[in-house]
Amino acid sequence: MPDTGIGMLAPLLGSDRVARTVDAVAWLTALIDVEVALSHAAAAHGLVDAAAVAHVERAAAALRADLDPAVLAGEAVEGGNPVIPLARRLRAAAGPGAPAVHPGATSQDVMDTALVLLVRTAADVIGDDLAACADAAAALAAAHRDTPAIARTLGQQALPTTFGLVAAGWCAGLDRARVQLGSVVAALPVQFGGSAGTLAASYPHGPAVADALADRLGLPRQDVPWHTERTRIGELAAALGVAAGACAKVATDVVLLSATEVGEVAEAAPGDSSSMPHKRNPIAAITARASARRAPGLVATLLAASDHEHQRAAGPWHAEWPALTDLLLATGGAAARLRVSLVGLGVHPGAMARNLALTSPDPAPSHAGDLVDRVLARRP
Residue 162 three-state SS: strand
Nearest to 30 by CA among 293, 217, 226: 217
152 is catalytic: no
d(CA 260, CA 42): 65
Instruction: State the catalytic residue, choosing from 120, 312, 360, 366.
Output: 312
* Strands of the chain, DSSP E: 148-153, 156-162, 265-266, 346-347
**Which residues are CB-contacts of 255 (< 8 A; sequence separation ≥ 6)?**
282, 285, 286, 289
- Cα–Cα distance measured from residue 4 to residue 288, given in angstroms and rounded to the nearest whole number: 19
Q: Which residues contact 35 (CB under 8 A, 6 or more apart)?
A: 56, 60, 86, 87, 90, 101, 102, 110
CA-CA-CA-CA torsion for 314, 315, 317, 318, nearest 10 degrees?
A: 130
Q: Is 119 helix (H, G, I), strand (E, B) or coil?
A: helix
Q: 15 — phi, psi (to 5°)?
A: -95, 0
* Single-letter amino acid code for the residue at 240: L
Residue 273 appears among annotated catalytic residues: yes
Can you name the residues that pair with 149 across neighbouring β-strands?
161
CB within 8 A of 15, min separation 6: which ones?
A: 5, 6, 291, 329, 330, 332, 333, 336
Packed helices 163-186 and 368-377: angle between N→C axes, nearest 10 degrees: 30
Show which residues are catalytic: 273, 312
